[in-house]
Amino acid sequence: MRSFDDLVAEADAADVSGWGFGWLDGRATEERPPWGFARLLADRLATVDSALDLDTGGGEVLGEAPIFPPTMVATEGWPPNAARARSALAPRGVKIVDAVPGEALPFEDHTFTLVTARHPVAPDWPEIHRVLRPGGSYFAQHVGPASAFELIEEFLGPLVEERRGRDPDLESAAARDAGLEIVHLSTARCRMEFYDIGAVVWTLRKCVWWVPDFSVVKYDAMLRRLDAQMRAGKPVVAHSTRHLIEARRPS
C-alpha cells in the first residue's frame, strides 16, 4: 500500500463534484439495497407524462433512465452539481432548475404526475403534495437513520440525538400529515468497507454533512489511526441505511 501522505494528498485533491462514486472502485465497497432503485425509477418514468426529480445531484441516477416523459424536470441546489446535471441531461430534454432546500418549489400546483428523489436532503412533504397532480405519486429512496454512523462517530463522537433522525416511520407520518397516502415502505441496512485512508478522506470530502468540519489537518491523528488499522488488514466498516418509499396524492 502507498504511504499515508500519498493516499491523503491524492484524495484531498480529487474531484468530488457530482454524485458518482467511481473514484472508490477498488478502494471501498458498499452493498446496495435489494430493490434496485435506478431500475424501478426508469420503469416509472417510462409510464408517465410529467415528472420532477428532486435533489438530482449531477443527474447520475436520473440519467440511467433510457426514456423520459415529455415533461421532465429536475432540481438541484448545489451549483457544481447543477452544472453537471445540465451538461448530462439538457441534451436529452431535461430542464434543470435551481432550488434552495427549505424554500417552496418553483412550480405551480398540480404540475407533475410523478415526483422522484434519490437521497433527498430533506423531503418537504407539503410541497411534494402541492406539486403533485391528484392521483400522482412520490417515489424515492431515502437515507435512513444513523447511516454510516460507525465512521462518522469515529470523528465526532457519540451522536445520540442525530441517530433518531431520518426515521422511516416518522417520515411516513409526516407524509400522511401533508395529505399523502403511503403505498409502500421497505428498509435496508447495507455493509460498507473502506480499504485505504484515501477512500475515507475522499468520502468525507464528498459527503460534507457527515463530518461538517472535516479537514485532513484537523483530523490528522484520527486518519493516521484508521490508516494503521487498514494496513493491519482490518477494513473500516460502517453500515448505510436506506428506505424505499412510495406515497400517493389521493384523487
Q: How far apart are CA 189 and CA 87, in angstroms?
A: 33
pLDDT at 141: 98
Over the Cα atoms of the chain, what is R_g? 19
The amino acid that residue 95 corresponds to is K
CATH of residue 106's domain is 3.40.50.150
Q: Return mean pLDDT, the chain.
A: 96
Quickly state the pLDDT bin for 5 (edges 50, 70, 90).
very high
C-alpha cell at 188: 435496508
Stretch 69-83: mean pLDDT, rounded? 95
Output the CA torsion sign for 144, 155, 31, 128: positive
Provide the pLDDT for residue 70: 98
pLDDT of 104 strictly over 80: yes
- Give dist(CA 22, CA 7) in Å, integer: 16
**pLDDT (mean) for 86-113:** 95
Q: How many domains does the chain have?
A: 1
Q: How many CA atoms lie within 13 A of 216 on its CB side?
A: 20
Distance from C-alpha of 118 to C-alpha of 122, rounded to nearest angstrom: 11
Rounded (5°) CA angle 37-127-118 = 15
Q: What is the pLDDT of residues 112-149, one digit of tens each?
A: 999 999 999 899 999 999 999 999 999 999 999 999 99
User: Residue 115: which H helix or E strand, with range?
Assistant: strand 112-118
Domain limits at 175?
Answer: 4-248
The alpha carbon of 211 is separated from its chain's Cα centroid by a whole number of angstroms, namely 16
Exposed, middle or buried: residue 58 (CB in 10 Å: 0-12, 13-18, 19+)? buried
**Cα 19 from chain centre:** 8
**Is the pLDDT at 1 greater than 90, yes or no?**
no
